[in-house]
Chain A
Amino acid sequence: DAMVIQNPRYQVTQFGKPVTLSCSQTLNHNVMYWYQQKSSQAPKLLFHYYDKDFNNEADTPDNFQSRRPNTSFCFLDIRSPGLGDAAMYLCATSRAQGLDAFFGQGTRLTVV
């Protein structure tokens, strides 16, 4: 059974048109992460939540926002996608920071 579910698997959006990616988990984990991964590169952490505490990485562009309305769900909002934002976006969860992270299957974002 899937434990970290990302929707949609594939998303095509227009340049500058806001887009939201979603992640849900059935593990009741405290921590949820969003990563961006571009071709042949390691995933890059954008931000994470510890419960409701939001932690932004220093080099995450302002164009990227996140919401976590409850333990199970977390959203990644890209306010004005550029061509350079085309990537795989990965969601992961863990009980506590640095432990036993479980990844979703990712959402592949294409910007046209």
Chain B
Amino acid sequence: EDKVVQSPLSLVVHEGDTVTLNCSYEVTNFRSLLWYKQEKKAPTFLFMLTSSGIEKKSGRLSSILDKKELFSILNITATQTGDSAVYLCAVEHSNTGNQFYFGTGTSLTVIP
């Protein structure tokens, strides 16, 4: 059965720490992997990864995909309290049309 697993489920760090969030997947006909940040209500899009080994970077956030080992990591350096959120990983596949499998998310809390 296709699945997306995120770890850890929750994480508490102090401001300034660096964190790494993990997403592993077993999905047939993989198309892309997406990271979202969810605050309050609607998730906001962070990255879309389709190719192995190419790091995507946006400010203090970066992400990379390993299609051989079937995982992705999301790194956040110099964390700030505003980074506190749930980070969602989703895998898009093309089995029957465009579909996404979501992980359960990692809840990150950054303490001042």
**How far is B105's CA from A105's CA once the two chains are assembled, in angstroms?**
12
Asked if residues A100 and B107 are in contact (CB atoms below 8 Å), the reply is yes
Asked if residues B100 and A106 are in contact (CB atoms below 8 Å), the reply is yes
Q: Taking the nearest CB of chain A, how far is it from the CB of B9, in angstroms?
A: 9
**How far is B44's CA from A45's CA once the two chains are assembled, in angstroms?**
11
Question: Taking CB as reference atom, which chain B residue is nearest A43?
Answer: B43
Contact size class for A? 20 to 34
Asked if residues B97 and A100 are in contact (CB atoms below 8 Å), the reply is no
Q: Give per-residue flags for B67-110: 1 if the beta carbon is below 8 A from chain A beta carbons, else 0.
A: 00000000000000000001010001000111111111101000
Please give, as numbers and ranges, the residues of chain A lying within 8 Å of B45 by CB-CB distance: 42
Please give, as numbers and ranges, the residues of chain B lying within 8 Å of A3 by CB-CB distance: 104
- Is residue A68 within 8 Å, beta carbon to beta carbon, of the partner chain? no
The interface of chain A, by Cβ under 8 A from chain B, is 3-4, 10, 33, 35, 37, 39-40, 42-45, 48, 88, 90, 97-106, 108, 110
The interface of chain B, by Cβ under 8 A from chain A, is 10, 36, 38-45, 48, 86, 88, 92, 96-105, 107
